[in-house]
Homo-oligomer: A and B are copies of this chain.
Amino acid sequence: MQRIANLLAIKDNKVLLLQKPRRGWFVAPGGKMESGESIYEAAIREFQEETNVIPHDIHLKGVFTMVIKSGDRVVDEWMLYTFVAKGVEGTPFEETREGKLAWHTIESLKTLPMAQGDRTNLVFASTKQGIQYGTFEYTQDFELISETIQMSIEQ
């Protein structure tokens, strides 16, 4: 089962997003964990590789079970771990083979084109206290079928 770690860097009320070429959708930079890595190590490594930026003060904001369905059948399932970083060091690449990188307002997360579950995840990560958990079910064409969300804040 794949494990994906991504990271939303926040600076001056803006977030660093990657616009993927295929659909033009925006995502938080990240990628696949390697064998033996922790989710924390993977998020930092993948973010640095994709952006050229070093993240500081990172914290886990979301853990999601991602399910791809064809009719009633589960055709893929993986885990997504989303971190935020409240400090960043360095200037991001403008464009890589992964897509275009740019700073966008936190507010724009509500309207920029992206997978619907990513919006739930990134709006929470950038504006709320605590951790979100849940399951996103998608079609193979990445249309959201259902989302089930829980959250908790440390007492």
Contact = CB atoms under 8 A, between A and B. Distances in A.
- Taken together, the copies of this chain in the complex come to 2
Contacts of A58: 152
A77 interface: yes
A19 to B, nearest CB: 27
A77 to B, nearest CB: 6
B63 A60 contact: yes
A119 interface: no
A103 interface: no
Interface residues of A, number: 36
Given A129-B154, A130-B154, 13 more contacts: A1-B3, A3-B79, A36-B135, A38-B133, A40-B133, A41-B135, A57-B152, A59-B131, A59-B153, A59-B154, A60-B60, A60-B133, A63-B81
Interface of A: 1, 3, 33, 35-41, 57-60, 63-65, 67, 74, 77, 79, 81, 86, 129-131, 133-135, 137, 148, 150, 152-155
